[in-house]
Structure 1
Amino acid sequence: MAAQKCLAVFGGNGFLGSKICQAALQRNWKVISVSRSGEPDWKTSTKNGHRPEWADGVTWVSADIFEPATYKPHLASADAVVHSMGLLLEADYKDVLRGKENPISGLRKAFQTGGSAWPKSANPLDKVPGDDIPTGDASRQLTYEKLNRDSALIAAKQFVESSSAKSKTFLYISAAAGFPILPQRYISTKREAEDLLTQVQDFRSIFFRPGFMYSHERPITVPMSYLTSVSSTMNKLTGNIFGGLLGAAGTAPMDVDKVGRAVVQAIDDKSIKGPVEVPLIESLSSKLT
């Protein structure tokens, strides 16, 4: 009998992360969620406010990705790691998904400050700080560079150093494109993270590029998905001439459950590596039983 796989999900209590955890459990994998708050607040994370039964199967770890000592031991048995942070509408600290603040204004306020370029190196992980990462308030101000790029490199380094798995997979949740009213840095920092992770030879890298994701459990995402669907249809009818202008709004929206299933299938399929665009995500989601 094959050994049970172990998956660690950074941001596992979030919008997409929780769906990835659920899909992995359906395959009888061991699942570890790493996030600042640990287990989700189910009263605001599910439509009925109840804790789902599958949550019992997840090890919920409360940790700070910028403080490796708080989670590094949990990566020792991990065969795969998913970085599911820095999503377009994943901003719990601004109460965006709970409908308490406008999504765009919340995200803009959260990421107003720019960041520095990543130091040049043959192995990008060589430039990742160790356990002595600064913890002052100024160093923790979130930027696209820190959340989309730096946190992924930090998680990747800890995975390489801690995991005893012979074959490792690191899956990064990227995006199909930016969004018209968000700064270009939102997507450019994700692409930079992809480029840097590609250079790491210690694991198989997969970069998921979904469009806008929605769920009926998060009502605020549904009307936005309708608008995105309309703009996507118009973009197709006009031969994609507005693709560069619309960004992610020109890509068909996706059910977050499907994306979660596709992530697990991609990890299980050794032939999948590099960027995974929307058509392949759709195909992968239908293969998970």
Structure 2
Amino acid sequence: MRLIILGGSGFVGQAIANAASQRQIAVISISRGGKPKHASCISKKITWVSADVFQPESWAKYVRKGDVVIDAIGIFFQQSRKGITYKRMHYEAANLSAQIAKDQDASCFIYISAAHSIPIFKDYFVWKQRAEKSIQEIMGNVLIFKPSLLYSQHHQYWMAKGILMAKKVPVLRFFFKKINPMEINEFANSLLTKIS
């Protein structure tokens, strides 16, 4: 098995790449920036490719028959002036990636979605849900992972720990019942276990 991770230099993508390399799985990470300056995954099993997902001619050649393609592209904040919107990054990128995976005869397409909506990020969830439906129509063999809040010691740590503590208090438990924080490496390993 070989993984092609779109958005592989991001928070979720790096965690999956690192977990895969520890299992001796070859990884090609495709992202605009290529190898991150402070990559958490230093492994010869990871090939870093700098490419724009919206220019498939720059990265489709890396996808081979039988590969597992993972869409780990995601943004929290839109920058409409730069064309970085939930619709473009969560929906349009996923559709394009799924089509390439189908055309290149990849064995599976994995989409990292979201478990629920957060009021101030409502459109984030809306476009993730729309992408789920459309990619299933494009490529039959699709796995969709819907994590809640993902965190690490350096990313959303205190928020996650605060929510986990609040869930232990009966009065507060109701307000946080949908949010189930999960450590990012635990998520990455559970994903790989399910596809191995």
Relative to the length of structure 1, the TM-score reads: 0.62
8 Å Cα contact 2:91-2:127 kept in structure 1: yes
Partner residue, 2:15: 19
| RMSD of aligned Cα (Å) | 2.3
Partner residue, 1:30: 26
CA offset digits 1:80-101 (Å, max 9, x no partner):
110001154xxxxxxxxxxxxx
Partner residue, 1:263: 191
SS in 2 for 1:199: helix
Match of 2:123 among 171, 177, 185: 185
Measured in 2, the distance between the counterparts of 1:86 and 1:6 equals 22
In the alignment, structure 1 residue 222 sits paired with structure 2 residue 157: yes
Match of 2:113 among 149, 165, 174: 174
Match of 2:83 among 107, 121, 141: 141
Partner residue, 1:206: 143
8 Å Cα contact 1:81-1:171 kept in structure 2: yes
8 Å Cα contact 1:213-1:256 kept in structure 2: yes
Partner residue, 1:101: none
Could you tell me how far 1:241 is from its partner in structure 2? 5.1
Could you tell me how far 1:228 is from its partner in structure 2? 2.6
Unaligned runs of 5+ in 1: 47-51, 89-106, 114-137, 269-289
1:101-180 map, 5 Å: 107=77, 110-111=78-79, 113=80, 141-163=83-105, 165=106, 168-180=107-119
Relative to the length of structure 2, the TM-score reads: 0.89
Which one has a larger percent strand, Structure 1 or Structure 2?
2
Partner residue, 1:254: 182
Could you tell me how far 1:196 is from its partner in structure 2? 1.1
Identity %: 28
Measured in 2, the distance between the counterparts of 1:240 and 1:191 equals 26
Could you tell me how far 1:157 is from its partner in structure 2? 0.8
Rg larger in structure: 1
Unaligned runs of 5+ in 2: none
What is the number of residues matched between the two proteins? 196
